[in-house]
Amino acid sequence: MIIYGKNAVIEALRSNKAVFRVYVQDTFASKSGEIEALCRRSNVKIEYVDKMTLFQLCKDEHHQGFVAEMEDYKYCEIEDIIKLADTRGEQPFVVILDGVEDPHNLGSILRVCECAGVHGVIIPKHNACPINSTVAKTSAGALEHMLVCKVTNINNVISHLKTLGLWIYAVELGGENIYKQNLKGAIALVIGSEGKGISALVKKNCDAIITMPMHGQVNSLNASVACGVAVFEVVRQRGN
């Protein structure tokens, strides 16, 4: 897997994941001190190359002068997410994405979730964005510290999480005011796709629908923004 962007490369080197090689734009040599030190610590080869070589590697002009080759992202199991919550001594806090297709949205959501202490994010295998280089770049390194589970059927996952004691909340228009809902227990928040929102069946299987009050002329938020508002309301209520 190719990742790019300074923060993404730094966090990859800090993680326990295998980084095979790091490429730095030759004109950025004076700005690569931290990355050089991390490469030495992990015995990772570092090469200084021109800007065009980096572009050919990642197919993106926004590489910030830093690109790395590393092992493919390894998705986790639902049990790993629950185990992490147990290890931290916390009530499980999960985010389920129902068909988010934009890699920039997915990357932003992962960054928000990691900052908020979410234990894991669940994404569908089909009709949704997978983990890729753009997601890694947009997450600004958060991907390396976030558990992501890829599943075949979101509704089956919701049923399974309910058996584990989680309450499932759809973040969607037309529900109860999120600021008046008790979100302190073991919960999963469902965030819908950019265009269609949460599918009817998934919404039906949720325990409740919660909504951010809107006071402007536009009545919807970007998926990553909606996720950010919702997860940090959970953080606020939990008193973390």
- The residues near 131 (Cβ < 8 Å, ≥ 6 apart) are 73, 75, 106, 143, 148
pLDDT at 240: 63
pLDDT at 30: 80
2-70 fold: 60s Ribosomal Protein L30; Chain: A; (3.30.1330)
Q: What is the CA radius of gyration of the chain?
A: 19
CA distance 225 to 17: 29
pLDDT single digits (tens) 46-66: 999 998 999 888 877 678 889
pLDDT single digits (tens) 180-233: 999 999 999 999 987 888 999 999 999 999 999 888 777 677 899 999 999 999
Q: What are the b/e assignments for 68-85, b being 16+ CB within 10 Å?
A: bbbeebebbebeebbbbb
What residue has token string 């004691």?
165
CA distance 64 to 99: 29
Q: Which CATH class is domain 78-238?
A: alpha beta
pLDDT single digits (tens) 21-34: 999 999 888 888 89
Fold agreement between 2-70 and 78-238: no
CA distance 79 to 101: 25
Domain boundaries, the chain: 2-70, 78-238
State yes or no: pLDDT of 156 exceeds 90. Answer: yes
pLDDT at 215: 83
Give this prediction's pTM. 0.88
pLDDT at 219: 67
